[in-house]
Chains A and B, each alone.
Chain A
Amino acid sequence: MEMIRAFIDTSVILNKILKLSKEAEKVFSDPDINKYTNEYVLKELYHILKKQFKFSEIQVSYALDYVRDECTILPTPEKNEFTKVKIHDKADKPIVCSAFKHDLVLYIDDEKTYQDAKKYVQVVRIKKDNGSRVCEVTGSPLAIGQ
């Protein structure tokens, strides 16, 4: 089976770390998925775990260490790299941009982001209903840089 090069979104990682979704856990245990994420996602993870869920510094470091072990960490894209991305939530731009730039399949579990992101990259939406992945492959991706 061919390896899938996947960009893993913040929510999928959080659902795996906090064991809230079996589907997210499957993504992480699948040896055929080569996992990537970026520093921007790590910042979001830190923000959520530390500032919102009030985990201690050491507990947050467990989570971030795990992600660093499991995923290749890409740099946060520059703002001028995603000027042409039209997405309703601008915070998704650095994520879609990294997936596009490194030719990765984006793994998410949010319907709105899914609809937006599929204009630019291949997207896999983790769905609960049948426990399987739903993958929509786009045509030629649009250029998203300047």
Chain B
Amino acid sequence: MLGGDQEVCVGKEAKRRRVIGQKIRYIALKEKYYIFCNSYVIISDTMSNASITVRLAPHDIKIIDKKIEEGIFTSRSDVIRYSIRHTLSEIDSNERNLDILAEIAKERNITKKDVRKALKKAHIEVYQEVYGDD
């Protein structure tokens, strides 16, 4: 599996490189989990994988198979694993961003009453902006 300037690392080093790596690709092989980060091949010690069935639309499968043909992924499972990780991290980051907004709102003492007031003002201005004066 290794070639060119690829190298193998495990444990903490693998974790570190997984964080800094781009174009990460995952390939599960038996008990081990191989993560390709650009020119690195990283093996991290992960738990054994569970198997699930996913039903997909033919259109999506076509796109997936094309990406495999192009060499971006190695298998359908590879795509699904990557997609799930990507989506979960996206959700986490969305939630973190909302936490920031809520924190600011708290610091500025923004209450439901303020929201209602602001909404009243926005109602007039946005309606005029979109539909003009009646």
Residues of A in contact with B (beta carbons under 8 Å apart): 10-11, 14-15, 17-21, 40, 43-44, 47-48, 52-53, 55, 59, 62-63, 65-66, 69, 76, 79, 89-92, 94, 110
- CB-contacts of B56-100 with A (<8 A): 90, 94, 97-98, 100
Q: Pick the contact of A19 from B90, B94, B102, B124 — CB < 8 Å?
A: B102
Instruction: Please name the residue on chain B nearest to A89 by beta carbon.
Output: B123
Residue from B104, B118, B126, B134 in contact with A43 in the complex, judged by beta carbons closer than 8 Å? B126
A20-B111, A79-B131 known; A52 vs B122 contact (CB < 8 Å): yes
The tally of residues in B whose CB lies under 8 Å from a CB in A reads 30
Q: Are B98 and A66 in contact (CB under 8 A)?
A: yes
Query: Which residue of chain A has its CB nearest to the CB of B115?
Result: A14
Instruction: Find out whether the CB atom of A94 lies under 8 angstroms from the CB atom of B122.
Output: no
Please tell me if B101 contacts chain A, counting CB pairs below 8 Å. yes
Choose one: A11, A17, A79, A94; the contact of B98 (CB below 8 Å): A17
Which one of B90, B94, B104, B122 has the greatest number of beta carbons of chain A within 10 Å?
B122
B residues in contact with A18, CB < 8 Å: 101-102, 105, 110, 115
CA distance A14 to B116 in the complex (A): 10
Q: Is A20 in contact with B105, judged by CB distance below 8 angstroms? A: yes
Point out the residues of chain A lying under 8 angstroms from B123, CB to CB.
44, 89, 91-92
Give the dominant DSSP class at A's interface.
helix
> Which chain B residue shows the least CB distance to A54?
B108
* Interfacial chain A residues near B116, Cβ < 8 Å: 11, 110
Q: Which residues of A contact B20 (CB under 8 A)?
A: none
